[in-house]
Amino acid sequence: MNIVVANTSHFKYAQIICDTIAVSAKVRGTGIAKRTPEYIRGKLENGNAVIALDGDTFAGFCYIEIWGHAKYVANSGLIVHPDFRGKGLAKSIKQKIFELSKEKFPDAKIFGITTGLPVMKINYELGYKPVTFSELTDDPEFWKGCQTCKNFDVLTRTEQKMCLCTGMLYDPATKPKKEKKVNGKAFNRLKSIKEQLFLKKNKK
């Protein structure tokens, strides 16, 4: 498996990247900002993405988004093709894009929002901490990406303060603490509480 910083030579994979992201979101029943091949090619062209290949076969992908005049960056679109799941590839891709983000934007805070427990665990191990949405970017273009999510009404009725997603942030100015073991039960409980709180209200 080869995980590299993507470039224009990888344009041919743009469509399968979009298709894999869309299918994964549908299977999980979650909303996700739609990506177009043109958008993905832009990320490949400016070197703000990593791609995993098994020979010439697409295996995984993730890219960098820039917000708030480069004060914040997000590692988005993390995807592993179904044929390569269950092998720890997502963690390797996340590590690669995380290092690329720190290299290209050393002063930026790196953040993400997700409902996926595996991604939360990976982020936590990389040094991210769960935070409130107020600690993330206030760039309206970022939050527009939530409009295609089926839970967007939760975000709007809480005045963009919280949702089913958990916000996670890596601040380069914060001295890293000694690595702790990931508490999967705590993340699961957090997700369960949010679902009971917001989805129950939505049914009323």
Q: What is the pTM of this model?
A: 0.81
Question: What's the token pair of residue 125?
Answer: 């191990």
**CATH class belonging to 2-203:** alpha beta
Residue 160 CA to residue 105 CA, distance in Å, equals 26
Q: Parse the chain into domains and list their residue ranges.
A: 2-203
Amino acid making up residue 160:
Q
- What pLDDT was estimated at residue 106? 96
For 52, the enclosing helix (H) or strand (E) is strand 49-54
Amino acid making up residue 138:
D
Question: Residues 20-76: pLDDT tens digits?
Answer: 988 887 776 655 667 899 999 999 999 999 999 999 999 999 999 999 989 999 998
> CB neighbours of 169 closer than 8 A, spacing ≥ 6?
109, 110, 111, 128, 129, 131, 135, 136
- What pLDDT was estimated at residue 174? 86
Question: Residues 94-149: pLDDT tens digits?
Answer: 999 999 999 999 999 999 988 888 888 899 999 999 999 999 998 988 888 788 77
Chain position carrying tokens 């009725």: 157
> CB neighbours of 88 closer than 8 A, spacing ≥ 6?
none
